[in-house]
Amino acid sequence: MEPEPANPKSEALNPKSQILSPVFHDPKHHIKIYQGDCLEILAAIPADCVDLIFADPPYFLSNDGITCHAGRMVSVNKGEWDRSRGPDANHDFNRAWLAACQRVLKPNGTIWVSGTAHIIHSVGFAMQQLGFKLLNDISWVKPNPPPNLSCRYFTHATETIIWAAKSHKSRHTFNYKLMKELAGGKQMKSVWTIRAPDRDEKRFGKHPTQKPVALLDRILLAASNEGDLILDPFMGSGTTAVGALRSRRAVVGVESEEISIGLALARVAGELIHVNVRVVSASFRLDLGERFMDRSDPGSFFSRMAPLTKLVQRECRFYFVGLTCREVIYSVEAPSLDEAWQAFNKSCKSSESVFSVIKTETEIYLTQ
């Protein structure tokens, strides 16, 4: 019997290099996240297997300057990865990662790259050098940009997103009817007004270059279809992964910074895990005893004394969520995660794969 032909999507989710292993893998939702250099990881992915790429590369803005954030003066420095190495070196870098992305794109695949004037011209020129077909340049308008502190420039209120196909022979995907519907029955223009990430999108933490989910939602809906494979070589806080999960796309994310990986994993987990808590019953006994109270001056006792509280019940419980069914397969009351795992390993569910463990702490106080 001959082996079955390889699935391109499965291969893309399993880079050839045995050295590389994902920090997160969810086979049910077709998501893998890698930590490392994007050039190394892209080189391990098979050619012609990715439907769409969204890239938010370094803008090289960390020059020890200042900017305004939330009404405060803050440093523009984001990390060594964002420091400029000069225009020639920056362009060489842009050309290198764009070439790596072009190799893994399917013949009809497209790439979206965001940037400010600091890098977007280099990106566009590199695309022309490599033979990409430029499709659109989107002007993303931010209605609430931070003010310009020096008062010597116009307020930076836009970013440019270049949309390009792999080659001039590409027959790219464009869901025109859907975009027209979203634009109120008119052709959607290349000027998009979308607010920066709101507080809810930053509830797991903040990233200096975080993109709004609404921006990725529009990109994915415009140029890909359900089940397509999406790649983000500079994943950052994981917005592309969140958008892909919501629109039922497979996704591969690559990020070099450990702190960004942690933030992205928290956001992905927030999309995958939904907890319903229901209190069925609570039963406990209280024996308060007797206490003398002088009632000769009504209200005087309570006006002088702050409410007292007494802890009557405390519980620490761990819930084990299955990898396949995504339901709670085992729960146990335990003082620590280690002891909860020990109890799970001794249970009849120990043979099942665990996707996540949820810890709840319950305390009931009596107000006296």
295: in domain: no
d(CA 48, CA 106): 4
203: in domain: yes
Higher pLDDT pick, 348 / 109: 109
pLDDT higher than 90, residue 81: no
The answer to whether residues 79 and 178 belong to one domain is yes
What separation in angstroms does the CA of 81 have from each of 37, 85, 93, 127, 316? 11, 10, 12, 22, 42
Per-residue confidence (pLDDT) for residue 61, from 0 to 100? 66
pLDDT tens readout for residues 270-295: 888 765 555 454 444 544 444 444 44
d(CA 365, CA 368): 9
The answer to whether residues 257 and 307 belong to one domain is no
d(CA 184, CA 186): 6
Average pLDDT over residues 131-154: 88
The answer to whether residues 93 and 210 belong to one domain is yes
**pTM score:** 0.72
CATH number of the domain encompassing residue 261: 3.40.50.150
The answer to whether residues 70 and 197 belong to one domain is yes
Higher pLDDT pick, 18 / 164: 164
pLDDT higher than 80, residue 7: no
pLDDT tens readout for residues 109-135: 999 999 998 899 999 999 999 999 999
Instruction: Show the tokens assigned to 221.
Output: 């809906």
Average pLDDT over residues 332-357: 90
193: in domain: yes
Per-residue confidence (pLDDT) for residue 14, from 0 to 100? 61
Q: Read off φ and ψ for residue 311, nearest 5 degrees.
A: -75, 120
Average pLDDT over residues 218-224: 98
Angle at 317 between CA 312 and CA 323, to 5 degrees: 165
Total domains present in the chain: 2
The strand pairing partners of 331, in sequence order, are: 319
pLDDT higher than 90, residue 198: no
**Burial readout 263-272 (b: 16 or more C-beta within 10 A, e: otherwise):** bbbebbeebb
pLDDT higher than 50, residue 304: no
The answer to whether residues 266 and 118 belong to one domain is yes
- Worst-scoring range by mean pLDDT, 58-67, 304-313, 357-366? 304-313
Q: How confident is the model at residue 353 (pLDDT cuts 50, 70, 90)?
A: confident
Q: What share of the chain is helix, strand, coil (3-state, %, to 5)?
A: 25, 25, 45
- Of all residues in the chain, the percent with pLDDT exceeding 70 is 76
Q: How confident is the model at residue 4 (pLDDT cuts 50, 70, 90)?
A: very low
The answer to whether residues 166 and 304 belong to one domain is no
Average pLDDT over residues 303-320: 68
Taking Cα atoms as reference points, which of 175, 176, 195 lies closest to residue 186?
176
- Of all residues in the chain, the percent with pLDDT exceeding 90 is 50
341: in domain: yes
Per-residue confidence (pLDDT) for residue 87, from 0 to 100? 87
Average pLDDT over residues 150-156: 83
The answer to whether residues 363 and 260 belong to one domain is no
Domain that residue 322 falls in = 300-367
What mean pLDDT value characterizes the chain? 82
